Structures are given as C-alpha cells and as structure tokens.
C-alpha cells in the first residue's frame, strides 16, 4: 500500500482516529496535512509524524466554516501543489438527550460540525482531486447505520447516516473523475470523543440490555484502538482497494451485530 508521492488531507487529525490515520498514511509515504481547530494539538501531532520521518503540515481551521476551509485547502495546495487523498474524520458526539429535551442550537451544532463539516471538506477538496483522481474516506459510525441503541443520540446518528448516504451518492458522481469514495464505520474505539459528549436525561430513552461478556465479541468486550480504524483507512486510500467505491466498512469487532 505504497503512498509515496501522494498528498493526503486528514481532518480532526489532532487526536484519536484522525491522528492515527495521519500516522498510518505517513508511514506508507504520503505527505499529510493535518487539519483541526486546536493549533497546539495539531503542531504536536505533526511533530510526532516528522519524528517518524514523515512530511507533515498542520493547518488550523473550523470544518464548519466555509471561508476557513477554503483558505485551508489553498494553504495545502500552496505548500504541496496537489491533493490525492482525503480523510473526512472531524466530528463530535455533541449533546445526547431526549428529542423533546434536545435544544435546536444543540442539534444545529452537531449538524454543523459533522455534516456541514464533511460537505465543506469535500466541497473544497474535490476540485483538486479531479485533476488526477484520488480517494476519499469518510469516518462515519455504526450509530445511524448498523445500530440505533445510543440513547438520546438523535442528532449524532442523523449525521452519521447522512455521511454514508453522501458516500454512496458521490461514488457515482465522482467515478468519472477516477475518484473513489468510501466510509469506515467504527464501533467503540478508545479516543477522546467523550470529551465533547454531553449526555442529559438519557435514562429516559435508554432501552435496558445487559451484555455480561461485553459488547464487542471479537475483542472479549474491549474497545478497539484508533490504529484498527487507521489501517482500514489506509487500505481504502491506497490502490489495494482500487475497485472499491461507494462502500461502508464496519470496524467494530462485531459490536453492531450484537447491539
């Protein structure tokens, strides 16, 4: 899965799955632009890639801002001259609450980051991918696609289902430009996403269920690691998956099938 000479953009690259994906792509030879909203975190992540011999560029931007994403893509092109791979990973859990308790501004924020952010990333990246073809990987979730058992996660599941719909739509739209579009749908992964999760009154919507041996059959109940998702992202970004497009791959150790 040699990615030498390729340039990749990874959003939400400061930590978690995004950082793991950036490292995995760099290890295969790709030059990687790490995009996120916290400059210090991004610079630390970029330094970690450089310490391993990678070529990394940190770009600070809010994925929900049209002007900032337009400027971010221009910064990438000015620095590297091209773009071949996009990992649209940036996202939040947001507020999880009963539908009659979930406030409009809370719903809007999750939509803005997860769905508008995915749209803006692709909106500004695709013109550059069209020049020579490439690959897009959207990081979705088992929520909204294989499972619907996270209490109060209406806004989050809506964005994750919509991301997979976008992947399927764009797989056909962009195929003529030799751009492949796929999704990964992680289950429970050890990341910091809980830091931006606000759960409120979720006991009102929770459906009781007990899993004595844990919810993840393949790992004896233990969550997956960010690297588990990153390796699948590299596969989808590389020519090893050259005839794969419009597909979602579940990286959940069987969790979604059990739930």
End-to-end CA distance of the chain: 33
Closest CA to 35 of 150, 118, 132, 135: 118
Are 163 and 138 spatial neighbours (Cβ–Cβ below 8 Å)?
Answer: yes
156 noted as active-site residue: yes
Angstrom distance (rounded) from CA 166 to CA 172: 10
Are 104 and 52 spatial neighbours (Cβ–Cβ below 8 Å)?
Answer: no
Helices 154-173 + 117-129 axis angle, to 10: 20
Q: Among the options 80, 119, 156, 250, which is catalytic?
A: 156
Angstrom CA distances, 90 to 21, 123, 178, stand at 12, 15, 24
Torsion of CA 99, 100, 104, 107, to 10 degrees: -20
Query: What residues are annotated to the active site?
Result: 156
């Amino acid at each position: 899965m040699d990615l030498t000479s390729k340039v990749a953009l990874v959003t939400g690259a400061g930590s978690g799955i995004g950082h793991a994906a950036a490292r995995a792509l760099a290890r295969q030879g790709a030059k990687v632009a790490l995009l996120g909203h916290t400059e210090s975190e991004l610079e630390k992540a970029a330094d970690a890639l450089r310490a391993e011999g990678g070529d990394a560029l940190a770009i600070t931007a809010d994925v929900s801002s049209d002007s900032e994403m337009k400027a971010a893509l221009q910064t990438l092109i000015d620095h590297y001259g091209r773009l071949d791979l996009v990992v649209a990973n940036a996202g939040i859990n947001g507020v999880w609450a009963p539908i009659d308790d979930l406030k409009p501004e809370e719903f809007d924020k999750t939509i803005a980051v997860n769905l508008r952010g995915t749209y803006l990333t692709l909106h500004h990246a695709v013109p550059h991918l069209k020049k020579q073809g490439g690959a897009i990987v959207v990081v979705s979730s088992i929520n909204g696609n294989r499972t619907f058992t996270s209490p109060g996660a209406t806004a989050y599941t809506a964005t994750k289902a919509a991301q997979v719909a976008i992947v399927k739509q764009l797989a056909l739209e962009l195929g003529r430009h030799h751009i492949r579009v796929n999704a990964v749908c992680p289950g429970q992964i050890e990341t910091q996403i809980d830091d931006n999760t606000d759960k409120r009154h979720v006991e009102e919507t929770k459906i009781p269920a007990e899993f004595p041996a844990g919810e993840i059959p393949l790992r004896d109940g233990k969550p997956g690691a960010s690297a588990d998702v990153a390796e699948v992202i590299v596969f989808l970004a590389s020519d090893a998956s050259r005839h794969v497009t419009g597909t979602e791959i579940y990286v959940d150790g069987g969790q979604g099938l059990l739930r």
